[in-house]
Structure 1
C-alpha cells in the first residue's frame, strides 16, 4: 500500500501522522503488550530462497551425487588426474551458489523498496507501518486499491466495496458495513473505511493459502521443465549403459580391474550434462541482477522467460501510455448552469472523497475545497464498473437539500443522441478526457441509479503522454508483438491518444459496450482490434482469456485496481510500482520506477536467457549423445573404452564448459519459440551421432595402427584428436552468427588444446601422445569428414525447422 494522502473535513490534504478525530485505535502501550505476547503479523515476506535453501539446491543434486560417487572411486583406484571432473563439480557448485546469492541480494533489496506499508491508526494518529508490524487489534485504514493484509472486522465504512474474487471466485464486489468480516488477500475497489485486525500472522486466511508457495514461487517454465525432462531421460539412459560398460571393461581388461574402473568412469562421466542446470541458473540469476538495475522487481523468476514468449501485450492507457496526473483545461457549463454553481459543486465533490483518483485529483487541484458552500450528506465512491462517483449535498449555505450530484463518463450517464454528447465526443476525439457533472433525480443508493440526469457541466482534462511511450510501442511493433490498448475511458479518446503515438489500428477504436458475449465471437473481435474503450474490469479479464484461447501468450500491464483480475489471468502480469497494492500483489513483474520503457529491457533479457540456454543446451546434449553412443559401441565391439576421465574432462572444458559460460551470458535477440526439448534434441541428436561415429571409427583405425606395449596412449590420443576437432566444429556451428569475440573464443579453445599437445608436462599429465604421422593425420582426416557430416546435419535440420 502506498502512503496515501488523506483529507480533512474540507477536503484539504493532510499528511500521514495527523490526528484523525475518529476511533483512536490501539495505544502505544497496548501495541507493546501484544508484541510481547507474539500477537504480531510475523509471516515472513520472502523475496527469494533462503541461503540454506540455495546452498542445498546447488549441492544436493542428482548429478552431483552420481559424479561424487565416481570421484570417490577414482580416489581409490587413482591416479588423481583422472579425478579432474571433481574439481569441475566443485567449481560449478560454487559458481551456482555465488550467482544465486547475488540475485537474492538484488531481489531482497527491490522487495523492500516495493513492500506495502498499510496505514494503521494508533493513539488517534494514522501512519504507515510495515506489514509485519501489524498487531492483533490494530485498526487498519482502507482506501481504493488497498489490499487487506490480515483478517479483520469492519469498524468504519464509507461506501466500502471489497473484491474477494481472488479468494472466493465471486466476481462481484461486496459492499461492507461495520461488523462485516474482511479476509486477507481481498482488495478495495471503491470507498474508504477501516477494520480491526482479528487474525494476524499464520492464522490469517491468505497466510494459510501462502503456506503452499512463497511469494517468489517458480511458476511453470518451459525452460526449467524441459531441462528437467532431459535430465530424467539421461538418468534412465545412463543406468543400462553404465552396467554394460562395467561388465565389458572388466571382461576386456581381465585382471586389471583398476584400469577397467577408470575406463568405465571415463564412459559414464561425459554422459552427465552437469553444467546445463548450472548455466540455466546463472542465466536466470544474471537476468534478475540486470533487471534490478532497471528498478524492475521480478516476483517470479520464470516471468523473465514468460515475457520473452509473449506475442500480445494488453496495456491500460492511464499510467502506461499516459502519466497518472492530469490537468483541467476547460469547464463548459450546460443548460444555463452558472459557472460559479458548477465550481461550488465540484469543490464539494472533491472534499467528499478522502482517496481521490487521478481525475478527481485534477479537479481538486483546479478547484480546491475551501470549507464553504455545499456540505456532503452521503457519498457513492467511484468504481470502474459504475464509471461515476456521486454525493448528496446540502444547499449552498450548508443547509437544506442541494440534491444528488454525479461526476463521471458522459456516454455512460447520458442516453445516446443527447446534445451534450456531441461536445464531449469532439473533445474526446482530440485525446482529452471528459467528465460530466450532472444532477440526478434518484437517491444515490437507489438500485435504478443513476436514473435521469440533468447535465450541468463538462470538465475537460488533458492527459500527459509518457515521453517514452512511443518508443516502446515501436519496439514491440519491430518485435512482432501485438499491442492492445484496453481502457475504461471513452473509446474515441483512447483511440486519439494511441493515434498520437502512431499505434497501428488506433483509428478504429472499439467501444467495449458493443462487444459480443459469446467467447468465440469476443475472441474474433479482440484478435483483430487494437484499441478498446469503456472496458469494465470483468471485460478486461474476458479479453485476456479470449486472446489466450486463440493460442496467444498474453502480458497485461496496469496500475489500477480495475486491472487486478486481468493481471491475474494473463500469462504475465506487469504492474507499476506506484499502482495499487492489490495490483502489485498479483503481478509477476513490478516496474518500481513506473517506467513503461523498462518493458523492452525485460523482453530482451528473457530472449537472451531462452536463446542462450537453447544454444548451449545443444553443446551439452551433443556431448551426452556421443558419450552414450561411444559406450554402446564399446559394449558391442567389446574393446577397451577409448578415454580416461581426464581426457573427457579436458575436452568438455575446452569445447563445452568455458565456451558455454560465455555464450550463455551473451546478447541474444532471437524471438523465443516453443517446444524447447524437441528443438534441442532435433539438433543435438544428429550432431552427437556424427561426432560419436567419427570418433569410434578413428579409434578402431588406431587399434590397427598401434599395437604392443605403450600403444594405449597412442590409440587414445588419436581418438581424442578426432573428437576434439569434431567438437570444435560443433562449437563453431553453435557460436553463429559470428562476432569478433565469438571467433576469438573458438580460436582460444583450439589454442589451449594445441598447448596441451606440444607441452611435455601436459602430455604426461593428460596421457596424450601423438605417435608418428599416419595415426594423427588419419584422425584429422576422419575429423574433417565428421565435421562435414555435422555441418550437413545442421543445415538439413535447420531447413526443416525454419
Structure 2
C-alpha cells in the first residue's frame, strides 16, 4: 500500500462538521415515517367514501344504521398498528445488519454506522466493502472497484491516487483508503435511490393484482350506484329517511373496505414473523417473490458450508523445501494479508509464528484469476491459489489435488514463482511446493432444507468458485442428485447455457460474471430464480436474480444489494420465508374471493332493484325498495367476511404460489356473487308476491332476503376456507351459529330490524338459500385448485411439519 499521510479528523473537527450539518444523513431504506403511516391508513379513498355515507345516515337520526362507520376506525387503527409493528421490527433488524465502514480518525480506526460518517472522514477499504459515500482515493494497493451497479460497466475499475469513488460501488480486490467529499443526499447513490429505495408495497405483484380488482370494482360501482340512488330517491316513494337508508344500504357493501387492509396486515405480520427469525426483509415484495421461486442458486462457501475453515492437512510436494520452511511461508502470507479471506484466516489460525520477512510486492486475490501472492525479496515469490487453474490439469499434482477435492475438501496450492507477484506477466512459471487441505463444515440444517425444497418441487443449483470435484462432493453429501461441471466448460450462448443448467446440479470454478449469466439463462426459461450468497463475487448474481438472499456475515456489498438478509446466517430460514410468502399470497387470494363476492352480489342486487324501479316507473306502479338497511348489510358482513377474512389472512398456508391471481379470483368470486345476488333478489320478489307491502311485510321480506343471502354467503365462506382443517371447519360452523343466534334473540331482532316470524317466508328463504349454496358447491367442484390440480376438501397434512427445525435467535438492541 502507498504510504499514508492522512491521520483522520480530530474529535473537534468531527463535532464542527456535525454542527454544520455535514453528516451522512441518508434517509432510512427500511420504512416510511410514522406520520406517513398514519396518513396512509387514515386518508384513504375507502375511508372517505364510508365517512360520507356515515354522515348521510347520521342525518336521518338512525344511529344503529351508522354502525358501519366503525369500519373507518377499525381500518385505520388496525392498519396503523400492524405497520408500526413491522416498522419497529425492520428498523431493529436494519441496525443489526447495517454495513459499518471502517473510519480512520485521529484517535484510531474503528467501525461506525454510515450515518456517523462526516465530510472529510477517511474510510478504509478492503475486498467486499461497499463504498458508503463519494470520495477521493488517498491510498491504494491494487485497489479494484466494481461500479456496475451504478454505471452498468461490467469490468472492475483499477483506482489510483486522486481517483474518485462513488457510493454504491464495492471493492472486488485490493485495499485502500479514501476521503469523503460528498455525504448524505449529495452522494451519487443517494441521489439515484432516495425516491425508490424506501420499502413499500408498490412493486408487489399481489398489490398490482388487487389494484386491478379495485379498478374492476370501480367500473361496476359507478353505474350500479347511480341507478340505485335514482330509483330509491325518486321511484320508491317511501320518505326521504327510508330512501336514504336503503340507498346507503345498497352502497356500503359495494365498497371492499377490508381488502387493502387485510393485504397490509398480512404483509406486516409476515415481516414481524420473519423478524423473529432474524430475517431482514429489505423489500416487502421479496416475501411473495420467494414464494414463487422454483430455482434456488446457492453459493457453497458461507451459505451451504460454514464460513470458517480449518487446515485439515499440509502435503509437502517433491523437490520442495522442508516442512518448516513451508510453514514459515504460509505463516508470513497469512500475517501480511491486511484483509484475509476465509482460506487465509484458516491458514493464519494454523500457523501463527511468521518469521518477520519484509514484503516487497503483493497481489490480492481475484475471483477471475483464483490466486493471490506475496514477494519477500531474497525469501522468494509465493502464490496461493487453485491447483487446477495454476497447473496443467493432467499433471500429477493437479490429480492429487482433485483426489483430495473429491472428499469435499478445499485444496490450495502453495507455489514458488520466478516473477515478483505484481509483475504484469505474473505469476509466470509456477513450481508446486505444497497442497493445503482446508476442511469446510456443512451447515447442520442444510440437508433438511434442501429436502424441503425438493418436496416443494424447487430445484437447487450449487454455484461455487471452488474446484468442481469438491463442489460435487459437497452436493453428494447433501443428497443432491446430478453431476458437477467445471464452469470453464460452460457455453456462452444463453440458450445452450440454459440447456446445460438443466442437466447439472453443481458447478465449480464459476466466475462472478458467469454467476450472473447463469441466473439470466435460468430466467430466460421462465424460471423465478433466487440467488443466495455472501461474498463480493456473488453481488452481480444477487442483483440480477428475482430474489437476492445474503448472509448476515457476508460482505457489505452482498448485503446491500440483496432483498433478504439472513442475519443469523442460517440457510434453513429460507423455507420459512417461502412459507410466509405462500401464506400472504394464498390467504389474500381467499380474502379477495370473499370481498369480491360481496361486491358482485351487492352490485347485482342494486342493478336488479334499479331495473325494477325503472320498469315500475314506466308502468306507473310502486317500485321495490332496496331490501336492506345499512345495519343489515353490516351484520351480513360480520361473520361471512370481516372476522373470517381477518383470521384467514393470518392462517398457515402451504399452497405453492401461482401466477394468474386476478383471473382466479374473478373466476371464483363472480359466479358466487351472481348466485348470491340472484337468489336474494328471487327470495325478495317472492316475499312481495305473497305480501301486501305493509311495513310488517316489508320487514319480513327484508328478513327473508337476508336469510337467503346469509345461507349462500356462509356457504361461500365454507368453500373459500377449503381445504379444511379442524379450525377452518370450526370457523365456518361458528359463523353460521352466530347468525342463528342473531335471528333467534328478541333484542337483536329488534335492534337489527329482523322479523323471521313468517314461517312460510322463512322456510322459503332457507330453501332458496340452500339451492344457491348447492350451485356454489357445484361450481367449486368444477374449478381447479390454484396449483392446477383437483379441488381438495381436506388438508393432507401441512408442510410446516417438514420445515427444518432451527432455533429462533432473540437479539436485543
Question: Which interval holds the TM-score relative to the shorter structure?
Answer: over 0.9
Summarize deviations over 1:728-756 as a string: whole Å, max 9, x none: 11111111222222222222222221222
- C-alpha displacement of 1:523: 1.1
Cross-structure match for 2:782: 796
Cross-structure match for 2:436: 459
SS at match of 2:412: strand
> What is the distance in 1 between the residues matched to 2:107 and 2:455?
55
Cross-structure match for 2:13: 30
SS at match of 1:435: strand
The 8 Å contact of residues 446 and 572 in structure 2, kept in 1 or not, is answered as: yes
Summarize deviations over 1:247-266 as a string: whole Å, max 9, x none: 11123222612222211111
SS at match of 2:145: strand
Summarize deviations over 1:482-524 as a string: whole Å, max 9, x none: 000000000000010110111121xx10100000011110111
> What is the distance in 1 between the residues matched to 2:61 and 2:215?
30
**Which of 533, 552, 556 is the equivalent residue of 1:577?**
552
> Within 5 A, what are the aligned runs for 1:269-348?
269-338=252-321, 339-348=323-332
- C-alpha displacement of 1:438: 1.2
**Which of 428, 433, 452 is the equivalent residue of 2:410?**
433
Q: Scaled by the length of structure 1, what TM-score is found? A: 0.95
The 8 Å contact of residues 352 and 379 in structure 1, kept in 2 or not, is answered as: no
SS at match of 1:406: strand
The 8 Å contact of residues 253 and 259 in structure 1, kept in 2 or not, is answered as: no
> What is the distance in 2 between the residues matched to 1:316 and 1:233?
44
> What is the distance in 2 between the residues matched to 1:166 and 1:745?
50
> Within 5 A, what are the aligned runs for 1:498-577?
498-505=475-482, 508-577=483-552
- C-alpha displacement of 1:67: 1.4
Cross-structure match for 1:4: none
2:240 is the counterpart of 1:240: no
2:101 is the counterpart of 1:118: yes
User: Using a 3 Å threshold, how does the CA distance of structure 1 residues 229 and 480 change in structure 2: closer, same or farther?
Assistant: same
> Within 5 A, what are the aligned runs for 1:389-468?
389-396=372-379, 402=380, 404-468=381-445
2:754 is the counterpart of 1:768: yes
> What is the distance in 2 between the residues matched to 1:241 and 1:352?
78
> What is the distance in 1 between the residues matched to 2:600 and 2:110?
63
The 8 Å contact of residues 348 and 376 in structure 1, kept in 2 or not, is answered as: no
**Which of 655, 658, 677 is the equivalent residue of 2:643?**
658
The 8 Å contact of residues 4 and 139 in structure 2, kept in 1 or not, is answered as: no
Deviates more, 1:197-206 or 1:244-253: 244-253
The 8 Å contact of residues 379 and 392 in structure 1, kept in 2 or not, is answered as: yes
> What is the distance in 2 between the residues matched to 1:342 and 1:216?
52
> What is the distance in 2 between the residues matched to 1:775 and 1:789?
21
> What is the distance in 2 between the residues matched to 1:219 and 1:389?
45
**Which of 670, 681, 700 is the equivalent residue of 1:696?**
681
Cross-structure match for 2:151: 168
The 8 Å contact of residues 706 and 714 in structure 1, kept in 2 or not, is answered as: no
The 8 Å contact of residues 22 and 124 in structure 1, kept in 2 or not, is answered as: no
Cross-structure match for 2:24: 41
2:776 is the counterpart of 1:786: no
Cross-structure match for 1:632: 607
**Which of 640, 651, 669 is the equivalent residue of 1:684?**
669
> What is the distance in 1 between the residues matched to 2:693 and 2:679?
24
Cross-structure match for 1:759: 745
2:61 is the counterpart of 1:78: yes
User: Using a 3 Å threshold, how does the CA distance of structure 1 residues 331 and 583 change in structure 2: closer, same or farther?
Assistant: same
> Within 5 A, what are the aligned runs for 1:584-733?
584-638=559-613, 639-710=624-695, 711-733=697-719
SS at match of 1:376: coil
> What is the distance in 1 between the residues matched to 2:735 and 2:508?
58
> What is the distance in 1 between the residues matched to 2:446 and 2:28?
33
Cross-structure match for 2:339: 355
SS at match of 1:509: strand
> What is the distance in 1 between the residues matched to 2:200 and 2:221?
31
- C-alpha displacement of 1:73: 1.0
SS at match of 2:784: helix
The 8 Å contact of residues 362 and 422 in structure 2, kept in 1 or not, is answered as: no
Cross-structure match for 2:807: none
Cross-structure match for 1:485: 462
**Which of 731, 746, 762 is the equivalent residue of 2:732?**
746
The 8 Å contact of residues 350 and 369 in structure 1, kept in 2 or not, is answered as: no
- C-alpha displacement of 1:352: 2.6
The 8 Å contact of residues 201 and 207 in structure 2, kept in 1 or not, is answered as: no
Flag as ranges the 4+ runs of structure 1 deviating above 4 A: none
> What is the distance in 2 between the residues matched to 1:106 and 1:30?
35
The 8 Å contact of residues 314 and 556 in structure 1, kept in 2 or not, is answered as: yes
> What is the distance in 1 between the residues matched to 2:722 and 2:175?
59
- Figure out how many residues of one structure are paired with residues of the other and give that number: 776
Cross-structure match for 1:5: none
- Report the RMSD for the aligned CA atoms in angstroms: 1.7
- C-alpha displacement of 1:236: 2.5
2:77 is the counterpart of 1:94: yes
Unaligned runs of at least 5 residues, structure 1:
1-7, 10-19, 397-401
The 8 Å contact of residues 683 and 765 in structure 2, kept in 1 or not, is answered as: yes
